[in-house]
Amino acid sequence: MALKAVKDAVEARLSTEWNEFPFRFVNRDGEIPTPNQDGETVSGVTPWLRVTYPVSNSQQMSLGSPGANVWREEGAFRIVVGVEVGDGIDRALEWADGLAAIFRGKSFDGVTTWAPTSPVIDDRNYQGGWYKVSFAVPYWYDLIG
User: Nearest-CA neighbor of 137 among 22, 7, 27?
Assistant: 7
Question: Residues 59-71: what's their mean pLDDT?
Answer: 90
Contact between residue 14 and residue 51 where contact means Cβ atoms under 8 Å apart: yes
**How does pLDDT run across 82-137, given as a tens digit for each residue?**
988 888 899 999 999 999 999 999 999 999 999 999 998 998 998 878 899 999 99
The bridge status of strand 23-24 relative to strand 48-60 is: parallel
Model pTM?
0.85
What's the length of the chain? Answer: 145
Contact between residue 82 and residue 48 where contact means Cβ atoms under 8 Å apart: yes
Measured CA to CA, the distance from residue 66 to residue 129 in angstroms comes to: 53
Question: Residues 59-70: what's their mean pLDDT?
Answer: 90
Give first-to-last CA distance, the chain, whole Å: 19
Query: In the chain, where are the structural domains located?
Result: 4-29+45-144
Beta bridge partners of residue 84, listed in sequence order: 130
User: Nearest-CA neighbor of 85 among 120, 42, 49?
Assistant: 42
CATH number belonging to domain 4-29+45-144: 3.30.2000.10
pLDDT at 7 over 80: yes
Question: Residues 23-36: what's their mean pLDDT?
Answer: 61
